[in-house]
C-alpha cells in the first residue's frame, strides 16, 4: 500500500501545480482580450478618420457651379459642397439603415446626388452636403455608378464620379462624435490595462 504521507504530498503538489496554472491561464486570456480590444478600437478609429475630418471641417460650402458652368476644379473628396442643376431622367432608389434614398445624376456633370425621394420631374434643384469621390463609396454604389455612366446620365471627369450626400453638413448629428468618444474610451481603457500587465509582469520587483 502507498504511504498516506506520500499520497498527501502528491496531492499537495498537484494542487500547487493547479494553482500555478490557473492564474497563468487567466492572465493569458486577459492579455489576449486586451490586445484584441486595443487593435480593434485602433482599427475602427483609423477607419472613421474621414468622418471625423468632415465633422470638423468648414461649414462654408464649396460651390460646384450650375448647368453649363461646372467648377470641376472644386471637385474634391470629403468636402462640404453645393450644386445647382437639372436632374437626369432616371433616379435609382434603394434603402439604407431603414431609410429610402434615391441617387440622381446632375445632367451634364460628373456629380450624382443622394437624396430623399423627390416627385418625378426635371425641375432644376439645389443640393448641399458631403461630397465624396466614387472610390470612397465603392462597392456600396458601384452598380448605380456604372448604370448611370453607361446611360449617359452622368459624365465622368478624370474617370471618376462624385456623389453629394444631400443634407449631410459638418458638425451635424451625434453619431460621429459619439462613436469617436466610445472608441477612444475603449482604446484608452485597453491601453491602460496593457500597461498595467506589462509593469506587473516585467517591471515589478522580485522577491
Residue 169 is classified by DSSP as: -
pLDDT number for residue 3: 54
Please name the fold of domain 52-166.
Answer: OB fold (Dihydrolipoamide Acetyltransferase, E2P) (2.40.50)
**Shortest CA distance to 194 belongs to which of 26, 44, 23, 27?**
27
Q: Is 173 helix (H, G, I), strand (E, B) or coil?
A: coil
pTM: 0.75
pLDDT number for residue 24: 54
Q: In this model, does residue 23 exceed pLDDT 60?
A: no
pLDDT number for residue 88: 85
- What phi and psi values does residue 76 have, to the nearest 5 degrees? -135, 155
- Cα separation of 23 and 28, whole Å? 8
Q: In this model, does residue 36 exceed pLDDT 80?
A: yes
Residues in the chain: 207
Q: In this model, does residue 16 exceed pLDDT 60?
A: no
* Euclidean distance between the first and the last CA atom of the chain, given in angstroms as a whole number: 41
Q: pLDDT confidence of 18, banded at 50, 70, 90? A: very low
**Sign of the four-CA dihedral 6, 11, 14, 16:** negative
Residue 116 is classified by DSSP as: S
- Cα separation of 43 and 13, whole Å? 45
**Shortest CA distance to 92 belongs to which of 130, 31, 143?**
143
Q: What tens digit of pLDDT does each residue of 166-186 get?
A: 999 998 888 899 999 999 999
Query: In b/e form, how buried is each residue of 112-130, taking b as 16+ CB within 10 angstroms?
Result: bbbbeeeeeeeeebebbbb
Three cell numbers, residue 144: 448605380
Q: What tens digit of pLDDT does each residue of 48-102 get?
A: 999 999 999 988 999 999 887 888 889 999 999 999 988 888 888 887 777 888 8
Q: Is 20 helix (H, G, I), strand (E, B) or coil?
A: helix
Q: What tens digit of pLDDT does each residue of 90-149 get?
A: 888 887 777 888 899 998 899 999 998 876 667 889 999 999 998 887 677 778 888 888
**Shortest CA distance to 156 belongs to which of 110, 98, 94, 124?**
110
Q: pLDDT confidence of 21, banded at 50, 70, 90? A: very low
**Contact indicator for 153, 111 with CB cutoff of 8 Å:** no
For the chain, what are the domain ranges? 52-166
Amino acid at each position: 500500500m502507498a504511504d498516506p504521507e506520500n499520497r498527501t504530498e502528491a496531492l499537495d503538489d498537484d494542487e500547487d501545480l493547479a494553482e500555478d496554472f490557473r492564474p497563468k491561464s487567466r492572465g493569458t486570456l486577459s492579455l489576449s482580450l486586451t490586445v484584441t480590444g486595443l487593435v480593434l478600437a485602433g482599427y475602427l478609429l483609423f477607419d472613421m478618420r474621414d468622418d471625423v475630418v468632415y465633422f470638423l471641417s468648414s461649414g462654408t460650402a464649396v460651390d460646384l457651379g450650375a448647368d453649363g458652368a461646372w467648377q470641376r476644379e472644386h471637385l474634391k473628396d470629403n468636402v462640404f459642397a453645393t450644386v445647382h442643376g437639372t436632374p437626369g431622367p432616371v433616379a435609382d432608389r434603394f434603402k439604407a439603415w431603414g431609410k429610402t434614398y434615391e441617387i440622381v445624376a446632375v445632367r451634364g456633370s460628373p456629380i450624382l446626388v443622394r437624396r430623399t425621394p423627390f416627385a418625378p420631374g426635371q425641375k432644376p434643384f439645389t443640393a448641399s452636403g458631403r461630397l465624396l469621390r466614387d472610390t470612397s463609396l465603392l462597392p456600396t454604389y458601384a452598380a448605380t455608378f456604372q448604370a448611370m455612366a453607361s446611360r449617359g446620365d452622368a459624365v465622368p471627369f478624370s474617370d471618376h464620379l462624385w456623389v453629394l450626400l444631400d443634407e449631410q453638413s459638418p458638425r451635424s448629428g451625434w453619431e460621429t462624435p459619439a462613436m469617436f468618444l466610445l472608441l477612444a474610451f475603449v482604446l484608452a481603457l485597453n491601453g491602460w490595462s496593457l500597461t498595467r500587465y506589462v509593469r506587473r509582469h516585467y517591471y515589478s520587483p522580485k522577491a
